[in-house]
Amino acid sequence: MASGNGGLPNNLPILDSKNWDRWQKQMKSLFGFQDTLEAVVNGVQALPANANQEARNAHKDMKKKDCKALYAIQAAVDTANFDRISHVDTAKEAWDILVKYYDGGEKVKAVKLQSLRRQYELLQMEKSDSIGSYAAKVQSLVHTMKHCGEQITDKMIVEK
C-alpha cells in the first residue's frame, strides 16, 4: 500500500452498503498499524484539571491519534456513510455509529440471518457461472452468515 500524507494509505478501502465485514476488518488492521486503535475503541478521556505535564502530553498524543483515526474513517466511507458520521467529533463516535448501523444488535442480526438463510437455500449455479464464480458466491454468503452467528459446516458448503 502506498502511503499518503500522515502515513495513511492512498488506497483506503471504501465502505459501501455491501462490504461492512471486510471493511471493518481492514480498518481495524489499519488502526492497529497506525497505533490509533485505542482511540477508536476507548475514545479520549477528559484531561483532569490538575494534570501534570506528562498527563498533558499523553492526552495531546491521544487527541492526535483520535483525529488521525477519525480522518481515516471519514476518508474510507462512501457519501451515504459520511453523512451518517459527519456530525461527530471523535473516531469512537463515528465507529460506534457505523457498528450500530451495520451490526445493529441481536435482533437485526437475527432478521439478517433469516434473509441470508433464504438466499443460501435459493442459491443455484447459473449456466453463465463458472465453478469459480459460483464458489465465490457461496463463500461470500457463508462468510456473511457466519459473521451473524450461523454455524455452517464444511459439509454443508460442499453440498451446496
Beta bridge partners of 3: 9
CB atoms inside a 10 Å sphere around CB 52: 9
Considering the domain architecture, whether residues 34 and 89 belong to the same structural domain is answered as: yes
Residues 97 and 154 grouped into a single domain = no
Residue percentage of the chain with pLDDT more than 90: 69
Q: How confident is the model at residue 6 (pLDDT cuts 50, 70, 90)?
A: low
Q: SS3 of 22, please?
A: helix
Q: Mean pLDDT for the chain?
A: 91
Of 18-22, 43-47, 136-140, least confident by mean pLDDT is: 18-22
Q: What is the pLDDT of residues 149-160, one digit of tens each?
A: 888 888 888 887
Predicted local distance difference test score (pLDDT) of residue 110: 85
Please answer whether residues 90 and 43 qualify as being in contact, where contact means their C-beta atoms are separated by less than 8 angstroms. yes
Q: Could you tell me if 20 and 78 lie in one domain? A: yes
What range does the domain containing 120 cover? 105-159
Note the pLDDT of residue 154.
86
Which residue, 86, 85, 54, 74, is CA-closest to 12? 74
Same domain, residue pair 30 and 89: yes
Residues 91 and 115 in one domain: no
Report the distance separating Cα 36 and Cα 27, nearest Å: 11
pTM of the predicted protein model = 0.71
Is residue 85 within 8 A of residue 98, CB to CB? The reply is yes
Residue 15 β-bridge partners: 77
The answer on pLDDT for 122 being more than 60 is: yes
